[in-house]
Structure 1
C-alpha cells in the first residue's frame, strides 16, 4: 500500500475556486475520512486524487511518485462510487473479472483474485448471479470486490453507503472496517455523515468551503474542535451553542455566571450528553421543555431558556419529562467550549486552545 501526499492543491472551475491550498498527508495503511456538508469540496478532492479531476495548482504524490498529471489508470488506485455501476448483463464473477481481463491479466491470476475477494466479502454463493438478483448491500460488496481484485495501492470510496437503508448502512460500515483491518490498506472515504466518520476513521479531515478546517482522530475532533464549525459538525445530536456576555472574566447568561471565560468569548458550546439535568429550581440555568424525543435507551429534551435560547439535553430513555416541564441545568466547566466572534475555539474543556 502507499502514502498519499497533497501539497498546495487548488482547483478552479472557471472563476469559482473549489479547493483552497489543500496540504495533507495520508499515512500508509490509514483509513482517512473526508467529511463535511454538501458542496464543501470533499468529492472534488477525492476525484482529484483519483485523477478524475485535473487540479489547477499543487502536487499529488502516491507512494513517493508524482502523479499530479498522471492518468487515472496510471495512479494504481481503485474507486468505489455511490452508484454500484455494475454491468447488469454480467454475473458477479464477470463483473469482478472484466477490468482484469481487458488489461490482459493471466487467467489463473484472475481466478485467484476473484476467489480471494469473494471469500473476504462473503460473495462466494453469488458469483454466478447477475446484479438484478442481488440486494443493495450485496451489489455494493460486488463493487468493492471489483476494486479489491485490482490490488491497488489506495482505495477511494465516494459515499458508497448513501443508497442503502439505515440498518444495511450499519452492517456495511462494520464490514468495511473489517476489510480495512484484513487488507491493511490505505483507504480514503468521503461522506457527509459524521457518524460514519466517527465510527470508521483513523483520521478525519473536516472540510468547509473547499478548505481544511481540522485534521485529527475522531476523539480529538470531538473533545478539541478547532472551530465552531467543527464542533457543530462532529457529534450527534449537534453541539449546543449559547451566546453569552463576558463580564469581569465570567461568561454570563440570563443573569447567571457559567464560569471563567477567556477574553474574546462570545459563545459557549456544550454537547447534549454533557449537560447535567437537575430538578426545577436547581442548577445554574432554568429551562422549560418544549419537546421530548424518545429513542429507547435515550431521550432528547428540546428546552428553552428564559432569554429564548434553546438547547438539546440527553436524558434517560424512560424520562417522564414532556412539553411544559420545568427543569434545571448544570454546565460542567470541564465540558464547555469557548468560541470567539470569528468562530475560532478559544478553549475546550476548560483548556485554552
Structure 2
C-alpha cells in the first residue's frame, strides 16, 4: 500500500483554471473522501491522480515515487467508476479476469485472486453469471472485484454508488467500509453526498471552485468549520446561518461578525419571551425518533431546529429560541470563521 503527496497541483483547460494550488497529504491506509458540489473539481482531482488527466503544474507522488508524468497503467492503482463498465457478453469471472489476462498474469494467480475477491465480496455464487443477470448492487461489487484482483497500492472511487437506490446505497456504504478495514488499503472516494462523506471517511477534503476549503476528520469539519461554505455543506440538515443583525438578545458577538451559525440540534425551544430571539413555527416534519421544526425568525430569515420525536410544539406556535454561546459559529463578511 502507499501514501500520496499532492504538491501545488494546478489544472487548466485552455484558459479556464479547474484546480488551484492543491496541496494534500494522504496517509498509507487512509479512507479519504473528496466532497463538494458539482463543478468543484473533485473528479478532476481524482482523474489527475489516476493519470487520466495531465496536470498543468505541480507534482504527484504515490508511495514516495514521482508519478506526475507516469502512464495510468504504471501508477499501481485501480479505479471504480460511476458506471459499472462491465463487459455484458462476459461472465463475472471473465470480467474480473480480463485485466489480469491482458497484463500477462499466470493462470493460477488469476484463479487465486478471483477466488479471494469473490469471497470478500460475496460473489462466489455469481461467478458464472453475466452482468445482465445481476442486480445493481451485485454489478457494483463486480466492478470493485475487478479492481481488487489487481492488488493495487491505491483504490480510486468516482461516485460509485450514485446509480443505486437509497437502501442499496446504505448497504454498499457499509460494505465498502468493511472492505477498507479488511484490505487496509489507501482509498480515495469522490462524492457530492456529504452523508456518504461523513459516514465513510477517515479524512474529508472539501472542495469549492477548484480550491480546497478544509481538510479534516468528519467531526472536526462538523464542529469546527473554517468557513460558511463548509458549515452549510457538511451536516444534514445543514447548519443554520443567519445575519448577525437579526436581534439576538443577551448574546454578545464579535464586532466583525456578519453571520451567525448554529446546528439544528443545538437550538432549544422555550416559551415565547424566555429565549434569545422570537420565532414562529411554520412547518413540522415528523421523522419518527426526531422532528424538524422550520421556524421564521422575528428579525427575518428561517431556521431549522431538531427536536425529539415526541415534541408537542404546534405549527403556528409563537416560541423563543435559546442558544448556547459556545455552540454558536461566527463568520465575517467574506464567510471565513471568526
TM-score (normalizing by structure 1): 0.94
> Corresponding residue for 1:294?
286
The C-alpha deviation readout for 1:126-169, integer Å capped at 9, x for no partner, is: 11111111110000000000000000010000000111111111
Q: Does 2:165 correspond to 1:165?
A: yes
Higher deviation after alignment, 309-318 or 91-100:
309-318
Structure 2 unaligned blocks of 5 or more:
none
Structure 1 unaligned blocks of 5 or more:
246-252, 347-353
Q: Does 2:46 correspond to 1:51?
A: no
Cα 1:275–1:74 shift into 2, 3 Å:
same
Q: Does 2:331 correspond to 1:339?
A: yes
Find the aligned partners of 2:55 and 2:134 in 1 and give their Cα distance: 38
The C-alpha deviation readout for 1:18-47, integer Å capped at 9, x for no partner, is: 000001110100000000000000000000
Find the aligned partners of 2:256 and 2:112 in 1 and give their Cα distance: 62
**Contact 2:239 2:263 survives alignment (8 Å):** yes
Find the aligned partners of 2:248 and 2:113 in 1 and give their Cα distance: 68
Q: Secondary structure at the match of 2:295?
A: strand
Find the aligned partners of 2:286 and 2:257 in 1 and give their Cα distance: 34
> Corresponding residue for 1:221?
221
Find the aligned partners of 1:306 and 1:95 in 2 and give their Cα distance: 61
Q: Does 2:257 correspond to 1:261?
A: no
**Contact 1:290 1:322 survives alignment (8 Å):** no
Q: Secondary structure at the match of 1:28?
A: coil
RMSD: 1.0
- Give the aligned length: 338
Aligned 1:21-32 pairs, distance under 5 A: 21-32=21-32
The C-alpha deviation readout for 1:72-123, integer Å capped at 9, x for no partner, is: 0010110000010101111111100000011110000000000000000011
**Contact 2:248 2:277 survives alignment (8 Å):** no
Cα deviation for residue 255 of structure 1 reads 6.0
**Contact 2:248 2:276 survives alignment (8 Å):** no
TM-score (normalizing by structure 2): 0.98
Q: Secondary structure at the match of 1:128?
A: coil
The C-alpha deviation readout for 1:219-246, integer Å capped at 9, x for no partner, is: 110111111111111111000011013x
The C-alpha deviation readout for 1:219-278, integer Å capped at 9, x for no partner, is: 110111111111111111000011013xxxxxxx33623x23223111110011111111
> Corresponding residue for 1:248?
none
Q: Secondary structure at the match of 2:214?
A: strand
